[in-house]
Amino acid sequence: MTGIDSHDAELKKELNATLQARRELGDEYESALVDSFLEKVDQRIDGAVERRVRRQMAEQQMVVARGSRGPKSTDSWGERFGFGIVSMVLAIPLSAIGGGIAHLPGLLVAWAGIVGVNAVQAARTNPGLFGGGRRGRSSQDSEWED
């Protein structure tokens, strides 16, 4: 049984006990029994909401502590270096093919693609690199913005 199923089973037992007590005690205790049962339901709901809020706050604190990076950040130096090496190795044949077939326009298209792929990789590993995140910048940096 999961946690939710066990809570549902407990609540069902409480309801059955309340109904049984109502049968035994009669109509004059119905209001008190219903109030007691609803109080238990409220306590369960409050507990569930409190746990959920605590969990969400902990998740938000983790995001803030990580500096808005995801849990599996891939911006290690080795991965960036490897991506740069592979990009440059592939740039040689792409430049030769583009320049050999379409001359200067082909060479420009090949290099535009290479720059584009590297820009996407840089943006993926460094969120906010291209103007998305300007938090935490000093007043000296603001002179470059217009």
Do 60 and 13 fall into the same domain?
Answer: yes
- d(Cα 41, Cα 45) in Å, to the nearest integer? 6
How many Cα atoms are found within 13 Å in the side-chain-facing hemisphere of 13?
6
The confidence score (pLDDT) of residue 75 equals 58
Taking only the tens place, the pLDDT of each residue in 67-86 is 755 545 555 778 888 888 88
Please give the structure tokens belonging to residue 20.
Answer: 């049984």
The confidence score (pLDDT) of residue 142 equals 45
The confidence score (pLDDT) of residue 29 equals 84
Do 61 and 7 fall into the same domain?
Answer: yes
Flag whether 94 is in a domain: yes
The confidence score (pLDDT) of residue 112 equals 93
Flag whether 47 is in a domain: yes
Do 62 and 91 fall into the same domain?
Answer: no
Q: How many independent structural domains does the chain possess? A: 2
Taking only the tens place, the pLDDT of each residue in 96-142 is 998 899 999 999 999 999 999 988 888 888 777 777 655 544 444 44
Please give the structure tokens belonging to residue 88.
Answer: 């440059």
Contact between 95 and 110 under an 8 Å Cβ cutoff? The reply is yes
Do 7 and 61 fall into the same domain?
Answer: yes
